[in-house]
Structure 1
């Protein structure tokens, strides 16, 4: 992978593919750049896709202390590699991070968001002390427990779904990246859609959700789109928290190139 150095000296690993206007892809909880392996080929004929490992994951470095501002600087460093400005597409907690980056003035020309992690209406937030409990599990080396706790209290997966996930090869990555769940929790802040702050954001924004996603994710996507002055929502074919990649690729290519 290629490397770029972020403002605090942390090395961020990235890959690029394709030809055309730049689009930076930003992953959410647990995963690294490989989550976009099926999406990049859909984009490459139309855009230059940049995918990177967020700090603490994959081939990227990390720092002793975490701050959301450092992750924004990481994203800006990749955008600089892409020519100084770019479309950004981000999902899950990564969508929350992309929103914070845009609000902080990152050079994002258009913003694509997939089901950000906000809580709307009667949808409950993670329990009090969630971050402290998660941190204790990580510090004690109970990475599997930390991953399960996050999936249960943050994403509302039932025990059967988690047990099925544990049996897949992907679970090893979940445990390896369990410490970064603290980062993703910090990014989510108070879990409220920041409607007042979004009212000043003029960046064109597309907020997508899948037709078969969870009710709380659908509600978060719709309220985020409604809060953005130049935002609009779109529902696409897919399953829980996942959109069919060929369709998503066509939508994003059109969004990035028009």
Structure 2
């Protein structure tokens, strides 16, 4: 085994959050710690390839958010519990770490940094804030629609509604995903966590300018990334966020879309490595 592979060797482990919930994670590589925070309808498998690329330079923690994959779930959800999960992971790697999150996972990472966790650097990819009244983002009452579908055990309908109404995915693409072996069943298995991501987003998708609070409390140096193939709403959100954070820059990556973490990790990794090492 080469020295590079030895450094990137993966160790599966668990930690216990403040409320007693067990959080599962993979730990790989050596060097400064980086924790990867997954988006909606995703577990640590989505960032597996990205984690491997980053592990050549960092100690990478790729975890299952509560209620997903091998992680347990608490009796009652609150965004604060997910922030405590990240705090427990930071404790696992020595008391401080950098964070990278995508989509709603980016917003969770921002909330964790703003809550005062010891975050060295923060990188976020396309946080889905809706900052203008042009229809970008889910419709009013969307959270209630998802709750109703899940209460009726209509998981497929909940996943489709989220992809079409919240992510702006064309219906024909959702139909194509249903035909991919294993893909749709995995998404259905994560449908119960959609309300968690809706809670993480809070009131940030109402087509209003992004307020300074609570985001300005995230004082760590921050890189806000967007993809050139993504809808313009992500660019507007990134510029708004960069404007309210105390130490932030924005960069658009050519040829990437909202699914870059899973679909284009080789193009995303160099930007993260350069920022986190810089």
Is contact 1:120-1:220 (8 Å) kept? yes
2:129 corresponds to: 118
Q: TM-score, normalised by structure 1?
A: 0.95
The correspondence for 1:183, drawn from 178, 183, 196, is: 196
The correspondence for 2:169, drawn from 157, 171, 176, is: 157
Q: CA deviation at 1:252?
A: 1.2
- Distance in 2 between the 1:120 and 1:126 partners? 12
1:203 corresponds to: 220
Structure 1 residues 68 and 221 mapped into 2: Cα distance closer, same or farther (>3 Å)? Answer: same
Q: CA deviation at 1:222?
A: 2.1
Is contact 1:27-1:33 (8 Å) kept? yes
Q: Are residues 1:172 and 2:207 paired?
A: no
Q: Where does the alignment leave 5 or more consecutive residues of structure 2 unmatched?
A: 1-11
Q: Are residues 1:228 and 2:245 paired?
A: yes
- Distance in 2 between the 1:115 and 1:106 partners? 22
SS at match of 1:138: helix
- Distance in 2 between the 1:123 and 1:13 partners? 39
Is contact 2:115-2:217 (8 Å) kept? no
Q: CA deviation at 1:76?
A: 0.8
The correspondence for 1:68, drawn from 74, 79, 90, is: 79
Q: Where does the alignment leave 5 or more consecutive residues of structure 1 unmatched?
A: none
Q: TM-score, normalised by structure 2?
A: 0.89
1:59 corresponds to: 70
- Distance in 2 between the 1:141 and 1:194 partners? 36
2:5 corresponds to: none
2:118 corresponds to: 107
SS at match of 2:98: strand
- Distance in 1 between the 2:174 and 2:90 partners? 35
Q: Count residues with an aligned counterpart.
A: 258
Query: What are the Cα deviations for residues 155-185 of structure 1, in whole angstroms up to 9, with x where unaligned?
Result: 1112112111222232111100001000000
Is contact 1:195-1:227 (8 Å) kept? yes
2:157 corresponds to: 145
- Distance in 2 between the 1:246 and 1:14 partners? 22
- Distance in 1 between the 2:72 and 2:237 partners? 31
2:3 corresponds to: none
User: C-alpha root-mean-square deviation of aligned residues, in Å?
Assistant: 1.4
Q: Are residues 1:85 and 2:96 paired?
A: yes
SS at match of 1:239: coil
SS at match of 1:50: strand
Moved over 3 A (4+): none
- Distance in 2 between the 1:195 and 1:115 partners? 18
The correspondence for 2:233, drawn from 208, 216, 222, is: 216
- Distance in 2 between the 1:155 and 1:123 partners? 14
1:250 corresponds to: 270
Q: Which moved more, 1:11-20 or 1:161-170?
A: 161-170
2:55 corresponds to: 44
Q: CA deviation at 1:95?
A: 0.7
Query: What are the Cα deviations for residues 159-216 of structure 1, in whole angstroms up to 9, with x where unaligned?
Result: 1121112222321111000010000001001125343433343210000011111111
